[in-house]
């Protein structure tokens, strides 16, 4: 058998990335460049392993992405792990019929950001149509603000009688739900009013907007940008689909039960692999209300996608199922929180600690820290007063108050000292 690469490269193939092996160096051809029968599985197995360089490069790419998100308040992150194999890039042209998505120029598997956007847009549309026991606060106005318009969305188009019955029924159901909702939308709806401002046409009616979307006569940029997803894995894997009735589907022969099935091996990302999803949120494109609720809405989208949709190809067969990687999510959320805390001013750091703690010693430490600063804000001054009164009720009215027959001080020296400084300073 032969490999379709120059002779001088053959000694270096063992050091190549999975993509180079899969796309360039499969040893599948006879001397007249016809595919050798039954060589597919053996050759694909040579594409599975990662070299030490591939493993290091994978870690570097993931760590670089995570580092970029630490100081980015406008980036939403979700860390997941697969609980079934995942197929990505099956439609890419390849001599073996099944393609695979490899990130150029690194040659490592990934999920393109556009694919993630497609899955989450579907999740948003299905939530807005009420497919998950109610719409949970979603409407198509939310979908359009986050993802932009799409004239090919199934809910916009009446069902095609030429489609198979199942597809025709589903598209008809979606279209009917959308029409019933659209009839209830008032032109004074606050979300629609904001959307008209984005479009730049305040006189547009809701029905006019729908007609323009159908005709692709109007467009806006959605508020979400999706990063490519790198895969935390040390190898690829093989899976097999076994098509039946190949003679009927491909060779125009009558169907029958005595034909042998045809095993079809293909590359997959193995289960238990890690995936880091990052979504850039352009809140300038959203109303204040929508911007505040956006992280919670993204939680809903990923939850729905993990439970009902999946990522990649063949999801109806159980491929591409994921769940949140709780341990990694908590770890990186804490790291991001710590990074954000370190970027705060001395006043804001002390205020945050003062708000979050119930420890009297820490409360006194942060008050002393704040009182040592110059020109603290009126809001911070009020917070200090409220906090010291919460823990030592009445101390600001009379720091030297005594109690009992022996007239012992009601408050200990340290809070008394701080209370007097508050009264002298503010």
Alpha carbons 406 and 395: distance in angstroms, whole number? 19
Number of H helices, E strands in the chain: 15, 11
Do 319 and 191 sit in the same domain of this protein?
A: yes
Q: Which residues of 362-397 are buried (b: 16+ CB within 10 A; e: fewer)?
A: ebbebbebbbeeeebeeebeebbeebbeeebeebee
Residue 12 has pLDDT above 80, yes or no: no
Contact 150, 157 (CB under 8 A): no
Do 241 and 134 sit in the same domain of this protein?
A: yes
Q: Which residues pair with 200 in a beta bridge?
A: none
Residue 1 lies in a domain: no
Which range, 51-55, 144-148, 338-342, 349-353, has the best average confidence (pLDDT)? 144-148
pLDDT band of 143, cuts 50, 70, 90: very high
Greater model confidence, 13 or 23: 23
At which of 287, 311, 339 does a domain end?
339
Do 305 and 373 sit in the same domain of this protein?
A: no
Each residue's pLDDT tens digit, 186-234: 888 899 999 999 999 989 999 999 999 999 999 999 999 999 999 999 9
Contact 235, 48 (CB under 8 A): yes
Alpha carbon 355 to its chain's center: 30
pLDDT band of 151, cuts 50, 70, 90: very high
Identify the DSSP state of 308.
I
Do 246 and 395 sit in the same domain of this protein?
A: no
Do 291 and 386 sit in the same domain of this protein?
A: no
The overall average pLDDT reported for the chain is: 89
Which range, 86-100, 114-128, 357-371, has the best average confidence (pLDDT)? 114-128
Instruction: Using alpha carbons, select from 75, 72, 148 the residue that is nearest to residue 298.
Output: 75
Residue 366 structural domain: 344-425
Do 249 and 349 sit in the same domain of this protein?
A: no
Residues of the chain with pLDDT > 70, as a percent, come to 97
pLDDT at 5: 66
Contacts of 315 (CB under 8 A, 6+ apart): 309, 321
Residue 426's SS3 state is coil
- Backbone conformation region of residue 273, classed left if phi is above 0, alpha if psi is from -120 to 50, else beta: beta
Residue 247 lies in a domain: yes
Residue 159 has pLDDT above 90, yes or no: no
Do 204 and 331 sit in the same domain of this protein?
A: yes
pLDDT at 1: 53
pLDDT at 272: 96
Domains held by the chain: number: 2
């Amino acid at each position: 058998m032969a490999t379709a690469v120059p002779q001088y490269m053959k000694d270096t193939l063992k050091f190549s990335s999975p993509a180079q092996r899969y796309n360039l160096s499969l040893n599948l051809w006879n001397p007249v460049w016809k595919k050798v029968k039954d060589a597919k599985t053996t050759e694909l197995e040579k594409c599975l392993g990662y070299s030490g360089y591939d493993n290091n490069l994978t870690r570097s790419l993931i760590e670089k992405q995570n580092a970029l998100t630490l100081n980015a308040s406008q980036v939403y992150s979700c860390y997941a792990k697969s609980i079934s194999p995942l197929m990505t890039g099956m439609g890419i042209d390849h001599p073996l019929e099944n393609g695979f998505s490899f990130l150029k120029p690194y040659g490592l598997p990934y999920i393109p950001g556009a694919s993630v956007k497609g899955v989450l847009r579907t999740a948003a549309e299905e939530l807005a149509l009420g497919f998950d026991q109610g719409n949970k606060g979603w409407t198509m106005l939310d979908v359009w603000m986050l993802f932009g318009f799409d004239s090919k969305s199934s809910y916009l188009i009446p069902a095609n009688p030429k489609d198979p019955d199942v597809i025709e029924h589903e598209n008809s159901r979606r279209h009917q739900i959308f029409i019933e909702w659209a009839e209830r939308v008032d032109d004074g709806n606050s979300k629609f009013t904001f959307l008209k401002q984005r479009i730049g046409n305040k006189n547009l009616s809701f029905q006019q907007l729908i007609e323009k979307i159908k005709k692709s006569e109007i467009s806006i940029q959605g508020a979400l940008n999706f990063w490519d997803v790198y895969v935390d894995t040390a190898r690829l894997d093989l899976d097999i689909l076994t098509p039946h009735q190949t003679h009927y589907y491909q060779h125009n022969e009558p169907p029958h039960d005595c034909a042998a099935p045809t095993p079809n091996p293909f590359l997959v990302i193995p289960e238990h692999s890690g995936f880091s999803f990052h979504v850039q949120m352009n809140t300038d494109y959203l109303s204040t209300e929508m911007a505040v609720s956006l992280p919670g809405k993204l939680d809903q989208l990923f939850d729905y996608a993990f439970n009902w949709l999946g990522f990649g190809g063949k999801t109806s067969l159980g491929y591409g199922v994921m769940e949140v990687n709780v341990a990694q999510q908590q770890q990186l959320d804490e790291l991001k929180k710590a990074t954000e805390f370190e970027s705060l001013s001395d006043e804001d750091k002390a205020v945050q600690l003062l708000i979050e703690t119930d420890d009297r010693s820490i409360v006194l430490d942060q008050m002393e820290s704040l009182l040592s600063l110059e020109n603290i804000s009126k809001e911070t001054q009020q917070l200090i007063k409220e906090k010291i009164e919460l823990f030592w009720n009445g101390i600001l009215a009379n720091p030297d108050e005594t109690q009992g027959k022996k007239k012992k001080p009601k408050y200990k020296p340290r809070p008394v000292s701080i209370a007097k400084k508050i009264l002298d300073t503010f």
